Amino acid sequence: MSTTASSAVSVTDLSKRFERGDVLALDRIDLEVQPGEFVSLIGPSGCGKSTLLRIIGDLIRPSEGDVLVNGKSAHQARLDRDYGIVFQDAVLYDWRTVVKNIALPLEMAGWDKQRREARVREMLELVELSGFEKHHPWQLSGGMQQRVSIARALSFSPALLLMDEPFGALDEMTRERMNNELLRIWQETRSTVVFVTHSIAESVFLSTRVVVMSARPGRIAGIVEIDLPQPRSPETREHPRFAEHITQVRRLLRKGHALDAPEEDETPLYVAEEGL
Amino acid sequence: MSVVAPLPRGTLGARVGRGAVDWIPAAAVLVLGILAWEGIVRGLDIQRFLLPAPSAIIDTLWEQRELLQAAGIYTFSEALGGFAIGCTLAVLAAIVLARFRSFGRALMPFAIAANAVPIIAFAPITNQWFGPLEKTSKMAIAAILVFFPVMVNTLRGLTSVRPPQIELMRSYAAGEVEIFRRVRIPNSLPYVFSALKVATVLAMIGAVVGEYFLSSQEALGFQIRNSAALFQFELAWAAITVASVLGILFYLAVVLVERLTMSWHPSTRAD
């Protein structure tokens, strides 16, 4: 795919070498994300998926290669507040109430009080936290904290949402509910999402495309187009193609792993599966 | 949606009532302790230069109330002045060191070493520098005493911000100044207040001990040293009591400010 100005994210020939330990974290990555897509990055720990996300957000600088966000440099996109980011930890500021946490990016963008309040109210409804305005972060459960974090990332309507294993610390049931909520929000806001996860099922359930990465050095092992009907619902998990896609992603993960360490016992299994 | 306990509320009366109940054991210990002290002094006929009876100390507190009040105000103003000067300089220094980290790394070992030095040993020197009869000489020793713990703690508070908290601010295009104002400073408050509480005690020690060496006759430290030398032990103990009560009130005043400014912090919620 060629780099176009219309891409939400365009990564070209990107490498990242960490000076400390001389680790090649990312090796010649090319990736295009179109507006409105939901793209997951999945891979073993150490494959550089979080690093890639942070480079897209201009929180880390790449060693080589180019990153364009909404057609401009990642740096300019950050200065223009073009994206919202959600981390694994909710990263709420303890001294701010729920309302003030959500209003933080709006304050920094210079919105007046009245406009902020109206927007925060909308966001609280979106993440179903009305009634918790005056609570402090420590008074909320982990799932609720993460919903505040998502509301905050969406509050200024960024076209791009970067998410770094946002539900990784939640229990399975909360995670599935959060997945459904995220998809509902994605549909409502029509934003683009780049989502880092280490859960195969989560990546297939949420995404329009899954980018599978291999570790050391971090490379793209393959990309799986997820051909499941929209909007997704809990029944999606029982769709016959859901299981197929999970198998596809798993194979790519294993292939990446096998390429990485060909001497391991897993190689015969991979060869056998390749014949299927 | 998960069920979360509502915000802790309750009428002021209920809270105070509960607070009062919590204090009963401590109050009982205090009363029993004083009674035991009185009983032992009387029963064993202990010499008054070893330990006067609480009743004698209380009598003296009343009889010498004008002298003690003046001395208390004099010494407390020194402690308060030293506290204000030392803490202000310490917080400013911490901000500079947090902003220019390599500078901070170069100076930190000395700050920590200075923290371990018995700074009170410098009291005779500051007395000479600022004049033994001047309040400023006691303020100086109090200020130096409080400086290092407040500086080290504030610096720790300003720099112990979790990296994602900074990354998030940068994603909002925040610069260093804004990160300081919106994240580092609020993050440092719990550290600052725990240092300020220690500093109240240190400031009182600095003022009183500074006065032991040489000071105006109006000072509490002078009264303690002088009356002990003149075998007026009841007066010495009464002055020590005044110094203790002032120290405790000073500490509680900082606790009150802490609760008012950090109502968001879990530690300030009794419930």
A78, amino acid identity? R
Q: Which residue of B has its CA nearest to A163?
A: B168
pLDDT in tens, A17-36: 888 777 888 888 899 999 99
In this prediction, residue A92 has a pLDDT band, given cuts at 50, 70 and 90, of: very high
Among the candidates A103, A133, A157, a domain finishes at A157
Which residues of chain A have a CB within 8 Å of the CB of B181? Answer: none
> If you count them, how many residues does chain B have?
271
pTM of the model: 0.79
pLDDT in tens, A110-130: 899 999 999 899 888 878 888
pLDDT higher than threshold 60 for residue A143: yes
Q: Which residue of A has its CA nearest to B267?
A: A138
Number of domains in chain A: 2
- Measured between its terminal Cα atoms, the distance across chain B in Å is 24
pLDDT higher than threshold 60 for residue B9: no
pLDDT higher than threshold 70 for residue A276: no
Which residues of chain A have a CB within 8 Å of the CB of B5? Answer: 139
- Report, as an integer, the average pLDDT of A227-240: 86
pLDDT on residue B114: 81
pLDDT higher than threshold 60 for residue B6: no
Q: What is the DSSP letter of A218?
A: B
In this prediction, residue B34 has a pLDDT band, given cuts at 50, 70 and 90, of: very high
The interface residues of chain B toward chain A in range 173-192, judged by CB-CB distance below 8 A, are: 173-174, 178, 182-183, 186-187, 189
Could you tell me if A77 and A178 lie in one domain?
yes
Tell whether A94 is within 8 A of chain B (Cβ).
yes
pLDDT on residue A2: 47
Number of domains in chain B: 1
Q: Over the range A157-173, which residues count as b (16 or more CB within 10 Å of their CB) and which as e?
A: ebbbbbbbbbbbebeee
Contact at CB, B171 and A132, closer than 8 angstroms: no
Tell whether A96 is within 8 A of chain B (Cβ).
yes
pLDDT in tens, B106-164: 888 888 888 788 888 888 888 888 888 888 889 999 999 999 999 999 999 999 998 89
Residue B245 in tokens: 């009560």
CA distance A159 to A81: 10
Could you tell me if A123 and A69 lie in one domain?
no
Which residues constitute the domain of residue B135?
63-161+191-268
pLDDT on residue B208: 92
Specify the pairing of strand A23-33 against strand A9-18: antiparallel
Could you tell me if A44 and A61 lie in one domain?
yes
Test mutation, B160, B162, B171, B189, chain A, max A CBs within 10 A: B171
Q: Which residue of A has its CA nearest to B5?
A: A139
- Report, as an integer, the average pLDDT of B4-16: 52
Least confident interval from A213-217, A254-258, A269-273, B223-227: A269-273
Say whether the ipTM exceeds 0.90.
no
Could you tell me if A114 and A224 lie in one domain?
no
- Report, as an integer, the average pLDDT of B47-64: 86
Could you tell me if A118 and A225 lie in one domain?
no
Which residues constitute the domain of residue A263?
9-82+159-274
Contact at CB, A91 and B1, closer than 8 angstroms: no
Mean pLDDT of chain A: 84
In this prediction, residue A268 has a pLDDT band, given cuts at 50, 70 and 90, of: very low
Q: Which ranges in chain A belong to alpha helices (H)?
A: 49-56, 74-79, 98-108, 113-126, 142-154, 172-189, 200-206, 240-260, 266-274
Report the candidate in A189, A176, A175 with the shortest Cα–Cα distance to residue A88: A175
pLDDT in tens, A46-65: 788 899 999 999 999 999 98
Could you tell me if A113 and A66 lie in one domain?
no
Among the candidates A126, A157, A188, a domain finishes at A157
